[in-house]
A and B are shown apart, each in its own frame.
Chain A
Amino acid sequence: MFSIFKATKDLVMKIDSFIDLVSESVLHFEEGLKLYIAGKEAEFNERLDIIRRVEARADDLRRDIEAQLYVQTLIPESRGDVLELLEDMDDIIDFSKSIMFDFCVEKPVIPAELHDRFIRLAATAVDSTQALVQSTRSFFYDVNTVKDHLHKVKFFENESDHISEKAKRELFALDIDLSRKLHLKTFIVSIDAVSDTAEDISNRLSIATMKRIV
């Protein structure tokens, strides 16, 4: 009997840690982007290393959690939803890392006029992900409050669309090469996609929540 309590507590801690890692990864992503724009390349690379380690730990944790849920046939009713949710959340970490990696490899030169837009776009991506993280925690701890956070995800996703649209307009109004414009556009689209991913996940979470409400 004692081992059941211990195993459950252990698994709860693992899921909590996994959600913490998702939250941390986007914060590192935001900080990394600020450092890149400030031209601090060495510190930016340190952040990239950190986010790589976070990704590896999150992968290990997720695999562990999945195995435990299957082997011990836990939460039969919501297992499918939980596994899908964890995989989707993992995608956010992967996505943040891959954007930072692209910055590292492609080294886009961001015109000073767009610095603010890029930083705000990243901050909104962080906000939408944090709202998603909160709703995910609620899904596990207090399913009745999930919707209190879900609407924020939608709000920040709209906000992000808005900022990215402005950024694109300003970018294409600049007097620089078209090739450079197109190159920078891919980065705007990528950062905006973080919020889109968060919104997609929130939609699925909303359905899973409805199933769980007694």
Chain B
Amino acid sequence: MSVLFFLSSGLFLGWSHGANNAGNVFGTAIGSKMVKFRTAAVIAGIFMILGSAISGAGASQTLGRLGSVNEIAGAFMVALAAAVSLLMMTRFNIPVSTSQTIVGSIIGWNFFSGSLTDYESLMKIVSSWLVAPLASAVLAVALYIFFRFLLTRFKIHLLQLDMYTRIGLIAVGAFGSYSLGANNIANVMGVFVPVAPFRPIDIIAGILTSRDQLFILGGMAMAAGVLTYSYKVMKTVGQSIIPLTPITALVAVLSSSTVLFLFSSQDLELLLASHGLPSIPLVPVSSSQAVVGAIIGIGLFQGGREMNFKLLGKIASGWVTAPVMACIISFVSLFIIQNVFSQPVYRDVKYSITSAAAQKLHDEGITFSTMDNLVELEFRNAAEFKYALKRYAPELESGTIMRVIRLSQIHPFTVNDSIVSFEIGQNVFSEGQVMALHTLNGKKYRHVWQFADDLASAGDEWKTKPDIPANRPHNNYIRIRIDYLAGKFSGMR
């Protein structure tokens, strides 16, 4: 029951996300009376659930790297702070999205818990906020020119065009809802991934991991938002943005949905990477801003008359104000819930360069003259450890520092395969993996990477492959299972 209570803020975030953002996908179709609300709501609901369950993982990994909230009460507060800031920004009529508030909220948690913010992921996310509306605008103009060419080239009867546009709006709406689910489920449920207490379930089609279950639940919350509360928003979006013809509406939704899809498709990332092309970062972006970007693109192409440049300024200001506000709200509310309600909002993660870690660092060629002074010293959190490293080894580059920190993370546990007998019964692990795990029974570990190394040498099925995009799904599969086992053995799950 308490699990459901703590998840409620995420579900609330999902619900309001569904209610608010379905308008971006189906608003114009509903506003122009081309599609009935009920049809739109059912399609949006179904495809949001599918999108979050099937393709939700990509964007959530980037968000997970930004900061890994490790206590459920903390996750509750982070999601709630994001939802509250979203509500407040909406009050000021600034079109921000969950993507912006959740990032600020997570950084608030990082500050509060002394965890490190991965600036590489942060830069990736922030730059994509800028790129997404721009890409959407460019794509919208290209599609607009293409559609105009088609309409002049092929003489289509007004009624047939109307029918194709309706079919198009429904198809694009379904695609848009799928992309919305895939890209934004990370915002809604991402923070709960490391702390979700669900056990894996074996269904006919495969294993539903705890993350899958969480995403399906989040998708359902979004769908509920669409069904119960999106009518007014859809009406408003359809009528308040500059009057669009059904064709321009189709172009706007198609381009923004495509952009959302590009920023969440792992398959596309693989495809691009396997051809040596630069891949698109998988990050949660804002659907509202993508739609506005598309409309502005078409507006500029048509001559830029009646352009609302004030709105542009407001959007840009939202990129800064929304995360900052969410960060402050998150920090303050974490403080309150910890000190007033005595709920643990983060679990201390200690750091120490143990002798094993020192050996591993040496093997990897990472050495520094003052390492001996730090060996076996214990640090309370990552921020403190980083500070010490910077002081004792100023010559280390930031990438190396991150590696040292990662290898020095303390996570003590003892392997006991009877704890995971349920999962073994559910076929979460392969036969070879179970056998390898069995050989390590009773062994004590201080670092997760030691456990991963031992598993890899005990059985080939635990081995990761070289880190190239094509191998990422396999490596992720291994990593998720090792993290799950380590969590189980240490009693964190």
Contact = CB atoms under 8 A, between A and B. Distances in A.
Interface string B29-43: 000111000000000
Contacts of A82: 158
Interface residues of B, number: 20
B113 interface: no
A75 B151 contact: no
B156 interface: yes
Interface stretch (B117-125, B179-187, B243-251): B243-251
A76 B163 contact: no
B152 A144 contact: yes
Interface in B134-168: 147-148, 151-152, 155-160, 162-163, 167
B162 A214 contact: no
A4 interface: yes
SS of B interface (majority): helix
A139 B158 contact: yes
A141 B153 CA distance: 11
B158 A140 contact: yes
Most-contacted residue by chain A among B33, B148, B155, B159 (CB, 10 A) = B159
Contact of A214 (B32, B157, B248): B248
Interface in B351-384: none
Interface in A115-145: 139-144
Contacts of B158: 75, 78, 82, 139-141, 143, 212
A125 B244 CA distance: 39
A12 B148 contact: no
Contact of B33 (A5, A11, A15, A76): A76
Most-contacted residue by chain A among B34, B158, B247 (CB, 10 A) = B158
Given A8-B160, A12-B159, A214-B247, 20 more contacts: A5-B163, A8-B159, A8-B162, A9-B160, A12-B157, A15-B159, A75-B159, A75-B162, A76-B32, A76-B33, A76-B34, A78-B158, A82-B158, A140-B157, A140-B158, A141-B155, A141-B156, A142-B155, A212-B158, A214-B151
A214 B147 contact: yes
Contacts of B163: 4-5, 8
A47 B147 CA distance: 47
Contacts of A73: 33
B159 A214 contact: no
A214 B245 contact: yes
A77 interface: yes
Nearest to B156: A141
B382 to A, nearest CB: 55
Given A214-B151, A214-B247, A74 B157 contact: no
B162 A74 contact: yes
Interface in A150-206: none
A157 to B, nearest CB: 26
The 5 closest A-B pairs by CB, nearest first: A76-B33, A142-B155, A75-B162, A8-B163, A141-B155
A11 B247 contact: no
11 contacts: A4-B163, A8-B160, A8-B163, A9-B160, A12-B160, A15-B159, A139-B158, A142-B152, A212-B245, A214-B151, A214-B245
A117 to B, nearest CB: 40
Contact of A74 (B151, B155, B159): B159
B170 to A, nearest CB: 11
Contact of A77 (B32, B147, B160): B32
A77 B34 CA distance: 9
Contact of B157 (A76, A141, A144): A141
A201 B445 CA distance: 87
Nearest to B154: A142
Most-contacted residue by chain B among A75, A139, A212 (CB, 10 A) = A75
Contacts of B245: 77, 212, 214
Nearest to A9: B160
Interface string B220-250: 0000000000000000000000000111100
Contacts of A78: 158
Interface in B237-289: 245-248
Contacts of A214: 147-148, 151, 245, 247-248
A211 to B, nearest CB: 8
Contacts of A9: 160
Contacts of B156: 141
A4 B166 CA distance: 11
Interface in A64-85: 73-78, 82
A63 to B, nearest CB: 17
Most-contacted residue by chain A among B32, B33, B157, B167 (CB, 10 A) = B157
Nearest to A68: B159
B298 to A, nearest CB: 10
Nearest to B243: A77
A200 to B, nearest CB: 22
Contacts of B248: 214
Nearest to B246: A77
A144 B155 CA distance: 10
A88 B162 CA distance: 23
Nearest to A76: B33
Interface in B77-102: none
Contacts of A15: 159
Contacts of A144: 152
A12 B160 CA distance: 8
Contacts of A11: 159
Contacts of B32: 76-77
A78 B33 CA distance: 12
Contacts of B148: 214
Contacts of A8: 159-160, 162-163
A44 B418 CA distance: 103
